[in-house]
Structure 1
Amino acid sequence: MLLEVEGLCVNYGHIEAIRDISFAVPEGTVTTLIGANGAGKTTTLKTISGLRKIRAGSVRFDGKDINDIPPYERVKLGIGQSPEGRRCFVGMTVRENLEMGAFTRNDRKSAAYREDVDRVLGLFPRLAERIDQVSGTMSGGEQQMLAIGRALMSRPRLLLLDEPSMGLAPKLIQQIFNIITEINEQGTTVLLVEQNAAQALKRSHDAHVLETGEIKRSGTGAELAVDPAVKAAYLGGDL
């Protein structure tokens, strides 16, 4: 198992954001967390990447307890994240943003580094067209592509994606999800947080429903897509 979250509890001050959640992400899969705003999805990803302190429980990556490992060391271990809201370096070009994604690497003059840049530009041809453009002048969809591409530059074994379709036009949403599937098929394990449950469940091997900081339902993506309660709450009644 690549990622194991066990009995995880996280607080914001005196408020319990996550209460005793446990789930696992098998290597090579796409696993999705769905739920309403405030359910604890983003907090879960931030805790896995080391940006939130754990009150109780554990996070294990490739069998190793990483509770006390700082965020930049988790990137070195193979955990990359594309955050909610994209968070591109708006004063930097596309090329410079990709370089920032590789900040833990010391092989920037190597063939492997150039291959990774080519991989990102192959996944996102629009970025190749904009390679020297300042990212703050690009559209929301282009910035989302850049945020994912930047995360891939650390060569993650596990890619955390937080709301990659947020604020995008329907055509771009479809494109982003197709690329997420392609990234997974190329060998990267994905943990996806997404409010577009219909698109996410179609592409997920496993999925979990978070409600007020607790996991209420778990199953395969296909199982949850036809679960009456999930359909009523998150899928508008039908896929």
Structure 2
Amino acid sequence: MLLELKDVSLAYGRIVALHGISLTVDEGEIVALIGANGAGKSTTMRAVSGLRPVLKGSISFDGQDITKMRADLRVIRGVSQSPEGRGIFPGMSVRENLEMGAYTRRNRPEIDKDLERVFGLFPRLKEREKQSGGTMSGGEQQMLAVGRALMSRPKLLLLDEPSMGLAPMLIQQIFDIIVEINQQGTTVLLVEQNAQQALSRAHRAYVLETGRIVKEGTGAELLHDPAVKDAYLGVA
């Protein structure tokens, strides 16, 4: 087991956003978290990446308790996040943005190798290597955010709403690339409002409602679950 959350609760001030959730991610999986806005999906990601402290419960990663570990040390351990809203550096070039993703690393030949891997996954980024991130389209910025997260060579890649605001054709492309990244050996935890795309790619998935996990199963099981269809897939 690569990641385990046990009875994790988290609050913003007095508002409790997660109510004792437990989930696991095994090495080599794509695991999806689906749910409506405000269900606690992004909050779960922030708990895993260390951007928000947990009230109670524990988080273990690769056999180590990381509940109180600083976010930057989690990156070094192998947890990397592509955040909701992308969070790229608009004044930096594509290449500089990608190199920022490797800030914890020192081995130049290995960094260059990973740059080539990212350019292989996202040829558009190679074409725009010298262009500043802020002048790129939403789809290109999303590619850049995912590419930057890969530059730390993570064991676990956290993807928060990778398809948000993208055209349907690009959404398909981004999800195909997520599958390719996974097939290359990176475990993926995916938060996504596009439940159809997420469940059709995920090995397993959890459904969150108001900070609680209400369903779990394989991607295929949840894709065909009548309640999930009704609530999240727009079909009865």
CA distance in 2, matches of 1:233, 1:90: 36
Report the AA paired with residue 14 of structure 1: R
CA distance in 2, matches of 1:227, 1:66: 34
Q: Which residue of 2 aligns with 1:192?
A: 190
Q: Which residue of 2 aligns with 1:102?
A: 102
Aligned positions of 1:115-194 closer than 5 A: 115-194=113-192
Secondary structure in 1 aligned to 2:116?
helix
CA distance in 2, matches of 1:54, 1:38: 17
TM (norm. structure 2) is 0.99
CA distance in 1, matches of 2:221, 2:130: 44
Q: Which residue of 2 aligns with 1:55?
A: 55
Q: Which residue of 2 aligns with 1:23?
A: 23
RMSD of the alignment, in Å? 0.6
Q: Which residue of 1 aligns with 2:224?
A: 226
Measured against aligned partners, the alpha-carbon deviations of 1:68-101 in whole angstroms (never above 9, x if no partner) come to 1100000000000000000100000000000100
CA distance in 2, matches of 1:85, 1:68: 26
Offset of residue 67 of structure 1: 1.0
CA distance in 1, matches of 2:95, 2:50: 26
Q: Which residue of 2 aligns with 1:44?
A: 44
CA distance in 1, matches of 2:41, 2:31: 12
User: Is residue 53–residue 68 contact of structure 2 (8 Å, CA) maintained in 1?
Assistant: no
CA distance in 2, matches of 1:51, 1:219: 27
TM (norm. structure 1) is 0.98
Offset of residue 106 of structure 1: 1.1
Measured against aligned partners, the alpha-carbon deviations of 1:149-203 in whole angstroms (never above 9, x if no partner) come to 0000000000000000000000000000000000000000000000000000000
Offset of residue 222 of structure 1: 0.3
Structure 1: gaps of 5 or more residues: none
CA distance in 2, matches of 1:106, 1:9: 36
CA distance in 2, matches of 1:113, 1:38: 37
Offset of residue 237 of structure 1: 1.1
